[in-house]
Structure 1
Amino acid sequence: MFWRGGTYVLRAIMALGVVLGLVLLTACGNESAGEVTGVPSDSPVASAATIGRADAEAVFGTLKGLDDAWKREDCAEIGRLTAWAESTLGRRACEAGRAAPSVGGYGDAEFFLPATGDDEDGAWFVALARHPKPAYFVFVQEDGGWRLGAGPIPVVGDAPELQGEVEAAGQEPGSALRAKLTPTRHVAFLTDAAGVSGVRFASGDPMRALLAELVRAPARVRPDRLTTDVRLEGPARALALPGGAALVFHVLRVVFTQKPGSGRSTLAHPRYGAADVRSFAGDSRPGEITGSELVFLATEVSKDNRMRTVAMRRVLADIAAGDSE
């Protein structure tokens, strides 16, 4: 239903597995090969259960309560009102005394309420708020209540038009397979500086800028050593689009581990500022740091497997400190 209201690294064996898997899942590795023929087990796409307009509007209204909880630094209430990636992010950020995100001022929302389905990841729906700027919100049902799972995810491209009844991508087999592959294909792209995986994004897409940043990151902190890892953060959720396409909502975790260079005991060029390190780790000058950033995404994937970033939000999720070896 529709309503308006030092080295760039991923462990070699993992990268090889992703690349080989993509080659098998696409026709001869061709990015435009059309139908895929397999599904990675670690990237499920959740189904959704029917929710009515009034209930969806009421759930969207809980953003005001979440905003108030952030202003009060009420970590327990933030945990009660969030799930999925927002729960992970909110819990750690609240404990660290981070600045409150603003979520209560969004309005003029459209609700995308997928048809009935059952899945171990539970029910969910999507809201697209038009005010003050377009942004997606994904709400999920957990422990008998509706919670914010991801959002706001600001729109950075043209949002696809959705009219009439909306279905989860899982209702159409081909669309479901492409949606399930989308997060893993992002990991392959962002950990493949040589471009051998065959995953592509068009010029100007934010994913290309992110890849370029990750590739350049080690050189910017020399003589420190910096390694980078990209991981999946929970399940993807996807809406079916006309023509066999899908709009996939998913989250990536980008992990930076920085250690002093040879002969040094402290970092020469810390990736994160002293205030950020102190708020999360309690130490502004640790021997080494591991920073985690969450990248919230809404990705349109076409029937021929072309991907386009529709919405994106990137936020610092955690910093852990350690002693240099």
Structure 2
Amino acid sequence: MPRRLLALLLGLSVTTGCGARAAGQDTPREPGASPRTSVRAVEPAEAAQAFKLLGRLDDAWRKRDCQTVERLTTWAEKTLGGRACEATRNGRPAPSRKGYSDAEFFLPATAGADRWFVALARRPHPAYFLFVHEGDDWRLAAGPVPVKGEPREPAGGAVPADDPGAGVGARLAPQRYLTYLTDPAGVSGVTFPKGDIARELFDELVRRPRKVRPDRLTSDVRLLVGPQRALLLPGGGALVIHALEIEHRQRAGPGRSSLRHPIYGKDELRGFTGKGRVAGLTGTEIVLVVTEVTGGTGVSTVAARRSLATLTTG
């Protein structure tokens, strides 16, 4: 199978501290009696106000206002709002943005200047969001990440890095995805439950090169650079937000001047490259993942979203 495997090991940090959870339809309840470990801890009212930036972001996408999209995002969402936003000005449809509401906020205490929280919106369908305070304002780092099945509700606190169970499991969760997706022979022993999104993605990576023949397709999977975020789950375990980056390289077969089975559609090709037919392309996708870690090593995908970030010819 013409597929190059890339295992990129990253040092991933897990934020320490404890926290509180607020719930309500975008209007949080009064904070509980949990002790605050930092004067910079995120307050419920602050989280509710930050959640409102989703409306401004949706409006910016509708207007193809890429500068505002960039200003309101960071980490994965900034990557997805760069070339992908510019491509909407060339005819590529803008992403469908829905008015999310009925949100619960999970507010870990902060470590130093690192301030963040997770929102679980219930309407129009459950989805997770990660917000990070960067510079002088809140920005969306990941979301929406649609839930598959029942959402998991964190206990509220961030996972301590020195926790011998949840801490280690949370730190290694992204690497387990990478190992699984770059191990077609299955020798690593890493597995995911039947029906898990990770298994569906693995099957696609294995089968797609055969499906696009005579074109040639190779793929690399790596971790998206940046700190992961992890929250404790009731009864043990952790909920981890992280991301993968998948790069596909497709080339026309021998004697051909254009791809026979391009893996991206005409809207994507024209939006990103201005062309309808190409002899080769390189596309980079971001896969946002929310993972449940149980028993220290058990992992399963709770929510995921896959989006095209860049597409070039050649």
Q: TM-score range by the shorter chain?
A: 0.7 to 0.9
Counterparts of 1:101 and 1:146 in 2: how far apart (Å)?
A: 22
Alignment of 1:253-292 (within 5 A): 253-292=245-284
Q: Report the more deviating stretch, 256-265 or 181-190.
A: 256-265
Counterparts of 1:60 and 1:89 in 2: how far apart (Å)?
A: 19
SS of alignment partner, residue 152 of structure 2:
coil
Counterparts of 2:277 and 2:298 in 1: how far apart (Å)?
A: 44
Shift of 1:161: 3.3
- Aligned residue number for residue 52 of structure 1: 43
Whether contact under 8 Å (2:224, 2:244) holds in the other structure is yes
Counterparts of 2:301 and 2:84 in 1: how far apart (Å)?
A: 26
Counterparts of 1:173 and 1:313 in 2: how far apart (Å)?
A: 29
Whether contact under 8 Å (2:98, 2:124) holds in the other structure is no
Match of 1:161 among 153, 165, 186: 153
SS of alignment partner, residue 308 of structure 1:
strand
Shift of 1:255: 1.1
Counterparts of 1:41 and 1:210 in 2: how far apart (Å)?
A: 21
Alignment of 1:126-137 (within 5 A): 126-137=118-129
SS of alignment partner, residue 169 of structure 1:
coil
Percent of matched pairs sharing the same residue: 50
Alignment of 1:1-325 (within 5 A): 7-11=2-6, 14=7, 41-46=10-15, 50-97=41-88, 98-103=92-97, 105-118=99-112, 122-163=114-155, 166-170=156-160, 172-174=162-164, 175-234=166-225, 235-322=227-314
- Aligned residue number for residue 32 of structure 1: none
State how many pairs are aligned: 287
Whether contact under 8 Å (1:47, 1:124) holds in the other structure is no
Counterparts of 2:257 and 2:305 in 1: how far apart (Å)?
A: 34
Shift of 1:170: 2.9
Whether contact under 8 Å (1:157, 1:309) holds in the other structure is no
Shift of 1:65: 0.7
Shift of 1:171: 5.2
Shift of 1:104: 5.3
Counterparts of 1:206 and 1:275 in 2: how far apart (Å)?
A: 26
Report the AA paired with residue 298 of structure 1.
V
Counterparts of 1:229 and 1:46 in 2: how far apart (Å)?
A: 29
Counterparts of 2:186 and 2:104 in 1: how far apart (Å)?
A: 38
Instruction: Write the deviation string for residues 79-111 of structure 1: whole angstroms up to 9, x where unpaired.
Output: 111111001101221111143334451000000
Shift of 1:172: 4.8
Report the AA paired with residue 11 of structure 2.
D
Report the AA paired with residue 167 of structure 2.
A
- Aligned residue number for residue 27 of structure 1: none
What is the TM-score with the length of structure 2 in the denominator?
0.86
Report the AA paired with residue 158 of structure 2.
A
Whether contact under 8 Å (1:103, 1:152) holds in the other structure is no
Counterparts of 2:12 and 2:257 in 1: how far apart (Å)?
A: 39
Counterparts of 2:12 and 2:249 in 1: how far apart (Å)?
A: 25
Shift of 1:242: 3.2
Whether contact under 8 Å (1:255, 1:293) holds in the other structure is yes
SS of alignment partner, residue 276 of structure 2:
coil
Change (3 A) 1:46 1:73: farther
Q: Report the more deviating stretch, 189-198 or 265-274.
A: 265-274
Instruction: Write the deviation string for residues 129-166 of structure 1: whole angstroms up to 9, x where unpaired.
Output: 00110000000111121100000000003222334xx2
Change (3 A) 1:306 1:131: same
Counterparts of 2:295 and 2:183 in 1: how far apart (Å)?
A: 24
Whether contact under 8 Å (1:299, 1:307) holds in the other structure is yes
Change (3 A) 1:47 1:277: farther
